């Protein structure tokens, strides 16, 4: 497993692997002492490298291992490590996504081009590495547009542009990005279609609804962004997205492990493809799935990739909402208001309250999706879930100074 200690969810996937009987060997750039006792207990061995991006050095370290150990799988659930994982798989001849199969998951233009060929509705799009190419693309696609990196994450360097002047402004801001995607701006709701697959079969899937759309939540600090894992995934308004999701996995020949697709639902119901990762979503969304059905998809994923099955009962019983909070003011957290009242009002539906403690410095809310903390709650009914999530948005406030 590459990068078993980072990001925060990775140790739980390592735990899952160990629990289903795998001997887990970790490869990462963290010092072993930084991994923590819990993770170390689940790793049969750990190899530290100075940098995961110095591939020659990584391969040299690996060679010392592979002379003694037979690797059956190479797993990486962290976006930046996907390509390294694919290279190692090819080197060792183990199953899983190859380099060629990984590229469409990493390069957003290759991704959409592959899906266009499969007849999937993507936003009109073009690749641009110069301002000239971007302006030509704008001329062809028409405003409003989205300008974003070919391999972006967390909506960084992503801009909506409505006219030539805004396009020039956006291009000036993304000058450090070597290649961009220029896309038709799609109006609508934004949702996910996430799966755990084995041998090309979908063993589990999840659909989340982002409120508001992620880009909007990234632009306005006062917003408490939400994601809602939906209980009724058979609702007619989700059918088009689910069908698209299944077609996308087939088109990209995704067979094993976690996938995370985002899609747009237009007012007229049409589903439009957003993006897909061959990995789970971040920002505690795996926990959100778990709370929706009282399952452990960390272990479920591990069982799927190691044994080709998922033996847990994955029936959904709740809608589960996560609400990210951002403190008012700069500096350190000084006080938290509204928590007692919330507890009295909806306490029995709150499952996680994980806020920065008093005195802690604020997190960078642009970089860190979890911002200054989050609350997870759940309820069998969607309307009630949304009402409570909104209450956490308005009535729980953190103050920094
Ligand atoms: N074509 C589009 N039409 C409308 N909105 C878009 C479009 N492309 C991107 N966006 C907005 O920008 C956000 C970020 O874009 P996208 O999901 O492609 O990139 P990302 O940075 O990889 O996202 P993530 O936060 O999932 O890592 C989307 O969630 C959406 O709100
Ligand atoms: Mg996205």
* 354 C-beta neighbours (distance < 10 Å), count: 13
Global pTM reads 0.97
Instruction: Name residues whose C-beta falls within 8 Å of residue 295's C-beta, 6 or more positions apart in sequence.
Output: 204, 289, 312, 313, 314
CA nearest 72: which of 87, 92, 52? 92
For ligand 1, is residue 185 a contact (CB within 6 Å)? yes
CATH of 10-96, one of 3.80.10, 3.20.20, 3.40.50, 3.90.550: 3.40.50
CA dihedral sign, ordered 96, 101, 105, 111: negative
Q: Which fold has domain 124-184?
A: Dna Ligase; domain 1 (3.30.1490)
CA nearest 82: which of 247, 229, 277, 352? 277
The CATH classification number of 318-401 equals 3.30.470.20
* 329 C-beta neighbours (distance < 10 Å), count: 12
Domain with CATH 3.40.50 in the chain: 10-96
Query: Which value, to the nearest 10 degrees, does the dihedral of the CA atoms of residues 66, 69, 70, 75 take?
Result: -80
E strands in 138-254: 145-149, 159-161, 180-184, 189-198, 201-206, 208-211, 226-229
Closest C-alpha residue for ligand 1 atom 22: 153
Domain with CATH 3.30.470.20 in the chain: 186-317, 318-401
By the 8 A CB rule, do 390 and 338 touch?
Answer: no
In this predicted structure, what is the pLDDT of residue 154? 84
Ligand 1 centroid–CA 244 distance in Å is: 17
For ligand 1, is residue 214 a contact (CB within 6 Å)? yes
- Ligand number with the minimum distance to the CA of 184: 1
Our mutation pick for probing the ligand 1 site, out of 155, 194, 367, counting the most ligand atoms within 8 A of Cβ, is 155
Ligand 2 centroid–CA 393 distance in Å is: 22
Closest C-alpha residue for ligand 1 atom 2: 185
3-state helix, strand, coil in the chain (%, to 5): 40, 25, 35
In this predicted structure, what is the pLDDT of residue 333? 98
Ligand 2 centroid–CA 249 distance in Å is: 17
Tokens found for residue 28: 């990462």
For ligand 1, is residue 123 a contact (CB within 6 Å)? yes
- Ligand number with the minimum distance to the CA of 153: 1
Ligand 2 centroid–CA 378 distance in Å is: 24
In this predicted structure, what is the pLDDT of residue 214? 97
In the chain, what is the straight-line distance between the N-terminal and C-terminal CA atoms, in Å? 41
Question: Alpha-carbon distance 305 to 73, whole Å?
Answer: 8
* 143 C-beta neighbours (distance < 10 Å), count: 15
Ligand 2 centroid–CA 155 distance in Å is: 7
Closest C-alpha residue for ligand 1 atom 8: 146
How do residues 127-180 score in pLDDT, each as one tens digit? 999 999 999 999 999 999 999 999 888 889 999 999 999 999 999 999 999 999
Q: Looking at the CA of residue 123, tell me the nearest atom of ligand 1.
A: 1
CATH of 186-317, one of 3.30.465.10, 3.30.470.20, 3.40.50.300, 3.20.20.70: 3.30.470.20
Residues with CB under 5 Å of ion ligand 2 are 262
Our mutation pick for probing the ligand 1 site, out of 141, 215, 367, counting the most ligand atoms within 8 A of Cβ, is 215
In this predicted structure, what is the pLDDT of residue 175? 94
Q: φ and ψ at 342, to 5 degrees?
A: -60, -45
Closest C-alpha residue for ligand 1 atom 1: 185
In this predicted structure, what is the pLDDT of residue 67? 84
The angle formed by the CA atoms of residues 107, 110 and 115, to the nearest 5 degrees, is: 125
**Residue the block writes with tokens 């750039």:** 29
Which portions of the chain are predicted below pLDDT 50? none
In this predicted structure, what is the pLDDT of residue 135? 97
Ligand 1 centroid–CA 275 distance in Å is: 8
Judged by DSSP in three states, 24 sits in strand
């Amino acid at each position: 497993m590459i990068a078993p200690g980072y990001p925060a969810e990775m140790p739980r996937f390592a735990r899952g692997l160990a629990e289903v009987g795998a001997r887990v060997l970790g490869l990462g750039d963290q010092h072993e002492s930084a991994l923590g006792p819990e993770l170390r207990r689940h790793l049969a061995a750990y190899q530290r490298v100075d940098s995961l991006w110095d591939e020659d050095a990584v391969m040299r370290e690996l060679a010392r291992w592979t002379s003694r150990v037979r690797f059956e799988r190479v797993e990486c659930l962290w976006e930046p490590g996907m390509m390294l994982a694919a290279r190692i798989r090819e080197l060792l001849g183990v199953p899983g996504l190859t380099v060629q199969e990984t590229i469409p998951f990493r390069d957003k233009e290759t991704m959409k081009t592959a899906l266009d060929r499969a007849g999937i509705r993507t936003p009109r799009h073009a690749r641009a590495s110069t301002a000239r190419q971007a302006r030509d693309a704008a001329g062809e696609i028409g405003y409003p547009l989205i300008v974003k990196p070919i391999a972006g994450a967390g909506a960084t360097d992503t801009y909506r542009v409505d006219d030539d002047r805004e396009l020039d402004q956006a291009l000036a801001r993304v000058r450090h990005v070597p290649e961009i995607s220029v896309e038709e701006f799609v109006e609508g709701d934004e949702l996910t279609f996430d799966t755990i697959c084995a041998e090309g079969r979908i063993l589990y899937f999840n659909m989340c609804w982002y409120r508001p759309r992620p880009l909007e939540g990234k632009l306005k600090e006062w917003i408490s962004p939400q994601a809602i894992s939906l209980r009724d995934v058979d609702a007619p308004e989700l059918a088009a997205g689910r069908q698209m999701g299944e077609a996308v996995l087939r088109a990209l020949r995704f067979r094993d492990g976690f996938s995370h697709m985002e899609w747009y639902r237009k007012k007229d119901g049409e589903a439009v493809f957003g993006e897909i990762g061959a990995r789970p979503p971040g920002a505690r969304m795996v926990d959100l799935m778990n709370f929706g059905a009282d399952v452990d998809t960390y272990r479920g994923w591990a069982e799927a990739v190691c044994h080709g099955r998922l033996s847990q009962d994955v029936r959904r019983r709740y809608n589960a909402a996560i609400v990210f909070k951002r403190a008012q003011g700069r500096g350190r957290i000084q006080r938290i208001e509204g928590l007692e009242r919330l507890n009295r009002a909806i306490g029995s539906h709150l499952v996680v309250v994980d806020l920065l403690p008093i005195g802690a410095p604020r997190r960078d809310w642009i970089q860190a999706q979890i911002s200054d903390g989050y609350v997870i709650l759940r309820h069998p009914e969607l309307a009630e879930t949304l009402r409570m999530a909104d209450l956490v948005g308005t009535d729980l406030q953190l103050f920094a100074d």
